[in-house]
Chains A and B, each alone.
Chain A
């Protein structure tokens, strides 16, 4: 321990920091920042709420703002925009809550019963009560079953039904409820968005007033804001320097817990399955890569045969071929051999890498031929010369190749897309991450969190294998 302290507290100057020490520390610190800042950014962004990510928030920390709600209610009188203040957190963050948390918090039915009119309609939509209430109504009135399925029907199917006739005998409230549920004009599903609450001086009245803002970009000179006391009054521009914002630290752990517990709305994300597939591909592919490459390197470096140079040049030449050129060829190969849709289709096409062969060959050239001759005198078979002499002596280079292979395989997106993109059960973690970017929904908060999760294994492997590189070098006895 004292040796460690001594090591870290060593200085160039005697007992104090000299100019060179300062430069060295500065350099190390800068290097550390350059490497570490992007990682830190990813880590901290992965615990930001969906709201913050959608607002393209640039803070490093997950600082959430005071929020208000901007509601849009559609009715016979047209569109009405207004702002609801002083809602409890659980209502504002309703969409960011886990299902079990939703059950724990206050009863939404009870909560909205305190409101009436447009606020009631907006909250009913936001808290997801429209369909519940509408279904109750349909049952109560003994309306036909298809009404319940109507909102999720295709437009062609909808033409066969006429829901309007059921509205005739209902009162105004019931008409609104059923129309919102069925999406009938002039009613539409009500809008309900969280916005940022800021305070600023009103230019006309010279008083501090509250505004709601949909996006805060502090790099711009002005902020587009809506006066809360007069929401219909339109957007005003407020100088960025004049605004007052309240922030509080509010990490969003559901980014992690939802996908890990397969609790993502609108899609099925099986983290365990994805990680399992990736681990399988990575481990098996790395073992095969190391074996095949080291055997090829052994033959190229330790045997003399006709066409040796030609083979080596051909192997190296494949380094010049860009991977994207090979996509179609690999796809055909994989489908012809029936490997598509299986993880073997991901593993086998990339098993031999020219880089690995080249690296290991160059390393094996440094192993003296006398060792192999000694082994031959010792009655070793060619296989046991490879397996018991050359392979262990090449361990430092093999460890490097193994690390590279693990990182390549874990991060690979192209091969899995070629081989298993049609088979959901064989998705590797990278394909699974891609799934969060749907055609209509982008769930970046889940994607960032799961990216962090997907980084853990490679990081661990690297930390772990690095130890083996050093011991590998020490054990070879090469000075």
Chain B
């Protein structure tokens, strides 16, 4: 049970600054997901929180205590690594016990905690096996179990699901969420997968190039992205962006002042005349439940549309697509969202 606060945290590698002054507050018991494209510094930030990476400037506070100079072991955190990082020469039980032995815990207490974790994660039957004899999903459980037995104040996850196949990933996602509900600990989770972020997070932190673009609840980010990057990053397929100059006059008139582009999500476009754009369809994808149309509007602006029904529209057809004004996002020349 703990809060985490970052104050103007910076990280330099030589002269290169990779984290540019991050401020963040994570509440007790929150499930916070750090999301962003690869290379945006989210893993580095997590490792700085863990204490595996020195911070160059700023402060990290756990429960209002500055922990900048406290070693990883003494911060009371536990981390689940992307590669699981299980000790290959130890059995599952020894893997779980290793951290506790280092804390000079009594044998009875170690056994008790291992049994508890094993029951919680349903891995009693392979406690004696070595990691080499486990499947990917089982290794994942052991890695999580190793964090649980420590009973840390904050759990850190570094892309823990990226090595699993799609089906297992969905199942483990649900389990992790359930685990969070049961344990109630603060968890910080790094991923580049927005689906994981949207489904699991209480709070999403969108990062790009070493800065935080936006912090908020999942739907808040979807509905009210504060800038063009977040708008484009959250949601699949990506939001369509149309430059102001290529908009029809009717739309130019109702746009807020200083707008340079319009953002509209593919699922918010429909085939109608109101607020419409003329679209030259190039590709049609039929998925049964949904249909995706890809095409260009005037000025070669690429547009994708998601329809939740089957359509008879063909490629090379020209259609009119429109949207509700409430669903439109307007951005200024710096990419900052404007309120209409």
Interface residues of A (CB under 8 A from B): 368, 370-371, 373-381, 384, 388-389, 392-393, 395, 475-479
Contact = CB atoms under 8 A, between A and B. Distances in A.
Contacts of A477: 88-89, 130-133
Given A370-B81, A378-B98, A475 B74 contact: no
**Which of B102, B103, B131, B132 has the most chain A CB within a 10 Å cutoff?**
B102
B78 interface: yes
Nearest to B97: A378
A395 B87 CA distance: 14
25 contacts: A368-B83, A370-B81, A370-B83, A373-B47, A373-B72, A373-B79, A373-B85, A374-B79, A374-B81, A375-B87, A375-B98, A376-B51, A376-B72, A377-B78, A379-B73, A379-B74, A380-B99, A384-B102, A392-B89, A475-B130, A477-B88, A477-B89, A477-B132, A478-B88, A479-B132
Contacts of A395: 89
Given A477-B130, A479-B132, A380 B85 contact: no
A93 B187 CA distance: 90
B81 A373 contact: yes
Interface in B29-60: 47, 50-52
Interface in B71-129: 71-74, 77-79, 81-83, 85-89, 98-99, 102-103
B98 A388 contact: yes
Nearest to A374: B85
A147 B179 CA distance: 104
A370 B89 CA distance: 15
Contacts of A377: 50, 52, 72-73, 77-79, 99
A382 to B, nearest CB: 10
B10 interface: no
B45 to A, nearest CB: 15
A151 to B, nearest CB: 71
B146 interface: yes
A478 B74 CA distance: 31
Contacts of B73: 376-380
A458 B73 CA distance: 45
A457 to B, nearest CB: 29
Contacts of A380: 73, 98-99, 102
Contact of A371 (B51, B87, B130): B87
A371 B82 CA distance: 11
A392 B87 CA distance: 10
Contact of B102 (A371, A378, A478): A378
Contact of A379 (B89, B99, B133): B99
B148 to A, nearest CB: 13
B335 to A, nearest CB: 36
Interface size bucket, B side? 20 to 34
B85 A371 contact: yes
Query: Which of A378, A380, A476 has the most C-beta atoms of chain B within 10 angstroms of its own C-beta?
Result: A378
A241 B194 CA distance: 95
Contacts of A476: 88-89
Contacts of A371: 85, 87
A232 B73 CA distance: 97
B52 to A, nearest CB: 5
Given A371-B85, A377-B72, A379-B102, 4 more contacts: A370-B81, A374-B79, A378-B73, A477-B132
Nearest to A380: B102
Nearest to B152: A377
A377 B50 CA distance: 8
Given A376-B72, A377-B78, A393 B98 contact: no
Contact of A373 (B52, B87, B103, B150): B52
Contacts, number: 70
Contacts of B74: 379
B89 A475 contact: yes
Nearest to A385: B102
Q: Nearest 5 pairs between A and B by C-beta? A: A477-B132, A378-B99, A477-B88, A379-B73, A374-B85
A18 B118 CA distance: 56
Contacts of B131: 477
A476 B133 CA distance: 11
B290 to A, nearest CB: 40
A24 B309 CA distance: 68
B100 to A, nearest CB: 8
Contact of B89 (A368, A373, A375, A393): A393
A394 to B, nearest CB: 10
A448 to B, nearest CB: 45
A393 B86 CA distance: 12
Contact of A393 (B72, B79, B88): B88
A375 B130 CA distance: 17
A368 B102 contact: no
Contacts of B81: 370, 373-374
A420 to B, nearest CB: 40
A336 B132 CA distance: 52
A368 B87 CA distance: 10
Contact of B103 (A374, A379, A389): A379
Nearest to B83: A370
A380 B85 CA distance: 14
In this complex, which of A373, A375, A389, A393 has the most chain B Cβ atoms within 10 angstroms of its Cβ?
A: A373
Contacts of A374: 79, 81, 85-87, 146
Nearest to B133: A477
Contacts of A375: 87, 98
A380 B73 CA distance: 7
Nearest to A472: B89
A478 B130 CA distance: 11
A476 B132 CA distance: 8
Contacts of B78: 377
A477 B133 CA distance: 8
A371 B87 CA distance: 7
B80 to A, nearest CB: 9
B54 to A, nearest CB: 12
B338 to A, nearest CB: 44
A398 to B, nearest CB: 13
Among B47, B78, B89, B98, residue most surrounded by chain A Cβ atoms (within 10 Å): B89
Nearest to A477: B132
B85 A368 contact: yes
A380 B97 CA distance: 12
Interface string B162-203: 000000000000000000000000000000000000000000
A478 B83 CA distance: 13
